[in-house]
A and B are shown apart, each in its own frame.
Chain A
Amino acid sequence: MQNANTKLTYKQAMTEAHKEEMLRDKRVIVMGEDIVLHGNSELIDMFPGKRIWNTPISENAFTGMAVGAAMTGLRPVVDLTVASFTYLASDQIINQASKLRFMTGGQMQIPVVFRCCMYYNLGMAAQHSDRPYSMFMNSPGLKILLPSTPANMKGLLKSAIRDDDPVLIFEDVNLWDQEEWVSTDPEVLIPIGEAEIKRQGTDITIVAIGATLNIVLEAAQVLDTQGISAEVIDPRTLVPLDTETLITSVKKTGRLIIVDNAHRTASIGSEIAAIIVEKAFKFLRAPIQRVTTPDVHVPYSPTLEALVYPKCSDILGTVNVLINY
């Protein structure tokens, strides 16, 4: 079976990562609300007994319990169900998980994974549609992963479970059914902190955050027909960020766009723009642009919701402005 590939959806890749890591290490447990849903039911059948904990609706305490369990020998994976529930859990994520290794002078390790599922673009209105990864970037001590494909999901989730620090991994429901050939080798991991250059190019760097990768690659193809060579980078890990790959690319292309489905202010796009201005200012041939969801809550009405997320045409328009700057 080594070196073999199998076709998996994003959601199946998630389940496979759990299965492989739970088989590999008895200390890995899974906990969260309504654990029977979202691909976890297979795990319940495979791991009867004390490996799966279906919790009451108590995000603050079960998140803290996972942290306490991580400090005392387990490697918990917490399914926080909907990304906006991380706010209820954020006291334990930020005040305890992110800080305790530091505050105890390294006495404690916190090997815990928080899975945060983003349900936006589904008509669920503002309280179930958040993409809050950038908010957690301002709290050092966490690692933040954003898988954009089935292979990235499997490889990054496995790395997260094996990591000795607290990791937030943001899943995108819009990618659940996307399929890809994924390695069946349980030792194939995607390293934390390494961006992937999805497409080489020379005229402009487009950084695709999470699921925007699909429209960014689509835009790059269109640009190719127009004689514009776009380099597409998926950072995959927001913290730690692979700044070297981003800087190297912008030094080559001289132009940068960051595309992100999250809100605009104080975001991963803002951070990448700041880093490039600090480290590669003299290579820039045009101002850096962010193509993001504007700072408005996700509306329920489908016609309004359709307005908020970045589209391929937004990217093409912005590229044209920069090329002709």
Chain B
Amino acid sequence: MLTTERQCEMYRRMQRIRQFEESLIIRGTEGHLAIGQEAAIVGACMALNDNDYITGTHRSHGHPIGKGAALRPLMAEMLGKVTGICKGRGGSMHFADSTVGVISESAIVGGGIPLATGAALSITVLATDQVSLCFFGDGACNEGAFSEAINMAAIWNLPVIYFCENNHYAMTTSITQSHGQPDIAKRAEAFGVPGISVDGQNADAVYQVTAEAVSRARDGNGPTLIEAKTYRFEEHNEGLEVPTPYRSEAEINHYRTHCDPLVLYRDHLLKEGISEHQLLAITVEVATEVATAIKFADDSPFPDDSSLYDYMYSDPINYPN
């Protein structure tokens, strides 16, 4: 079980994702928002150590924030500034942050699944006590990379956790239209690995199942597939106009009203005896962090034109630099 201090940290990181992204909506900055999915992301990340690896998706802001990243370099990356975590070369869909173990976020759906599995191979060969966790969505489960990678993790007993944020829609395509078996956790059986389904709006529940999968991986007992059932509150990406609705207003309102992970976790913490004052203080501290990050990003310069060719090669030969 999490200590009170860790529960407050969980709430803080969920607040960071929410407020970071709400600031983007206010500014009209385009991006794929994780609002609504914070408990799934942070619950999983809180079960990891700082040096454990993760890979993520095009909905990339939440993963490094969940893993504990500083907000300033992320906001600067959002604006394409040189102080960005990827020096302005990655942007909104690619918030890799090696300082917290986020080795990549792939905008090619499913692309990060083999990478995380390869990180687990490194851990096995180098005999460290790390694990690797791979975030991906329900849509990625239909990519070949998903099946191929889980199969190899199973045969080689690799220390990797496959963490599906099932928000029920791959862009505009519902899981019922695209998955022969919409219960994604059940797919695990086909590969001989444990598959667990969890309420992705319940941060403590997500933490619990992920912690168990992490222990299994660290103990040399191989991979686990976790399916966190969650919901994206905003459009696929800010600014996307969808002429024909693919999900009903009633459905969206239901999740927003009854399944907001921040509201649910706040109520839970109040019941656990954490004071309203403490939770408010966290919210206010995060608001200051986000405001500071925005100012830092706004004040930062764009990359110098002369740096166009930087970072292409470690050792450029016959190449402009």
List residues of A whose CB falls within 8 A of some B CB.
27, 29, 50-51, 53, 55-56, 58, 60-74, 76, 91-92, 95-96, 100-109, 140-141, 143, 163-165, 192-193, 240-244
For A27, what are the chain B residues with a Cβ–Cβ distance below 8 Å?
Answer: 126
Chain A min CB distance to B114 (Å): 3
Q: What are the 3 A-B residue pairs with the smallest beta carbon separation, nearest first?
A: A68-B118, A64-B114, A105-B87
Q: Are A65 and B314 in contact (CB under 8 A)?
A: no
Q: Are A91 and B94 in contact (CB under 8 A)?
A: no
> Which one of A55, A108, A163 contacts B98 once the chains associate, using CB atoms below 8 Å?
A108
Known A-B contacts A102-B311, A103-B86; A64 and B152 likewise in contact (beta carbons under 8 Å): no
Chain A min CB distance to B157 (Å): 12
Report the separation of the CA atoms of residues A304 and B278 in the bound assembly, to the nearest whole angstrom. Answer: 80
Q: Are A56 and B155 in contact (CB under 8 A)?
A: yes
Which residues of B104-133 have CB atoms within 8 Å of chain A's CB atoms? 104, 106, 108, 111, 113-126, 132
* The stretch of B143-151, B233-241, B281-289 that contacts the partner chain: B143-151
> Which one of B104, B106, B121, B149 contacts A69 once the chains associate, using CB atoms below 8 Å?
B121
Report the separation of the CA atoms of residues A193 and B90 in the bound assembly, to the nearest whole angstrom. Answer: 28
Known A-B contacts A64-B118, A74-B125; A91 and B314 likewise in contact (beta carbons under 8 Å): no
Known A-B contacts A60-B148, A68-B103, A91-B108; A105 and B114 likewise in contact (beta carbons under 8 Å): no
Question: Is B317 at the interface (CB under 8 A from chain A)?
Answer: yes
For A50, what are the chain B residues with a Cβ–Cβ distance below 8 Å?
Answer: 124-125
> Which one of B86, B121, B151 contacts A68 once the chains associate, using CB atoms below 8 Å?
B121
Interface of B, secondary structure class, is mixed
Chain A min CB distance to B201 (Å): 30
Q: Are A69 and B318 in contact (CB under 8 A)?
A: no
> Which one of A62, A64, A66, A241 contacts B113 once the chains associate, using CB atoms below 8 Å?
A64
For A76, what are the chain B residues with a Cβ–Cβ distance below 8 Å?
Answer: 118
Report the separation of the CA atoms of residues A27 and B126 in the bound assembly, to the nearest whole angstrom. Answer: 8
Chain B min CB distance to A54 (Å): 10
Chain B min CB distance to A303 (Å): 38
For A192, what are the chain B residues with a Cβ–Cβ distance below 8 Å?
Answer: 317
Chain A min CB distance to B168 (Å): 25
> Which one of B104, B111, B117 contacts A65 once the chains associate, using CB atoms below 8 Å?
B117
For B311, what are the chain A residues with a Cβ–Cβ distance below 8 Å?
Answer: 101-102, 104-106
- Among residues of B, the one whose C-beta sits closest to the C-beta of A112 is B118
For A108, what are the chain B residues with a Cβ–Cβ distance below 8 Å?
Answer: 96, 98, 103-104
Q: Interface 1/0s, chain B 252-294, versus A by CB < 8 A? A: 0000000000000000000000000000000000000000000
Chain A min CB distance to B316 (Å): 8
For B115, what are the chain A residues with a Cβ–Cβ distance below 8 Å?
Answer: 64-65, 67-68, 71, 96
Known A-B contacts A96-B111, A104-B89, A108-B104; A58 and B151 likewise in contact (beta carbons under 8 Å): yes
Known A-B contacts A103-B89, A104-B96, A108-B98; A68 and B114 likewise in contact (beta carbons under 8 Å): yes
Q: Interface 1/0s, chain B 219-233, versus A by CB < 8 A? A: 000000000000000
Q: Interface 1/0s, chain B 282-321, versus A by CB < 8 A? A: 0000000000000000000000000000111111111100
Q: Interface 1/0s, chain B 79-97, versus A by CB < 8 A? A: 0000011111110001011
Chain B min CB distance to A261 (Å): 24
Report the separation of the CA atoms of residues A64 and B148 in the bound assembly, to the nearest whole angstrom. Answer: 10
Question: Is B53 at the interface (CB under 8 A from chain A)?
Answer: yes
Known A-B contacts A61-B113, A62-B114; A240 and B121 likewise in contact (beta carbons under 8 Å): no
Report the separation of the CA atoms of residues A121 and B14 in the bound assembly, to the nearest whole angstrom. Answer: 60
Chain A min CB distance to B75 (Å): 15
A–B complex contacts, Cβ < 8 Å, 14 sampled: A56-B152, A61-B144, A62-B114, A64-B118, A67-B114, A68-B55, A68-B117, A68-B118, A71-B118, A101-B312, A104-B89, A104-B94, A105-B311, A242-B318
Q: Interface 1/0s, chain B 134-175, versus A by CB < 8 A? A: 000000000011001101100110000000000000000000
Known pairs A65-B115, A68-B120 / 14 extra A-B pairs, C-beta < 8 Å? A29-B125, A50-B125, A51-B125, A55-B152, A56-B151, A60-B114, A60-B145, A61-B114, A61-B149, A68-B118, A106-B310, A141-B312, A193-B317, A240-B319
Chain A min CB distance to B80 (Å): 11
Report the separation of the CA atoms of residues A143 and B315 in the bound assembly, to the nearest whole angstrom. Answer: 11
Chain A min CB distance to B217 (Å): 15
Q: Are A105 and B89 in contact (CB under 8 A)?
A: yes
Q: Are A53 and B111 in contact (CB under 8 A)?
A: no
Quick one: which of B111, B124, B156 has the most chain A CB within 10 A? B111
Q: Are A71 and B104 in contact (CB under 8 A)?
A: yes
Q: Are A104 and B118 in contact (CB under 8 A)?
A: no
Report the separation of the CA atoms of residues A66 and B114 in the bound assembly, to the nearest whole angstrom. Answer: 8
Q: Are A68 and B119 in contact (CB under 8 A)?
A: yes
For B94, what are the chain A residues with a Cβ–Cβ distance below 8 Å?
Answer: 103-104
For A242, what are the chain B residues with a Cβ–Cβ distance below 8 Å?
Answer: 318
For A53, what are the chain B residues with a Cβ–Cβ distance below 8 Å?
Answer: 121, 156
For A106, what are the chain B residues with a Cβ–Cβ distance below 8 Å?
Answer: 87, 310-311
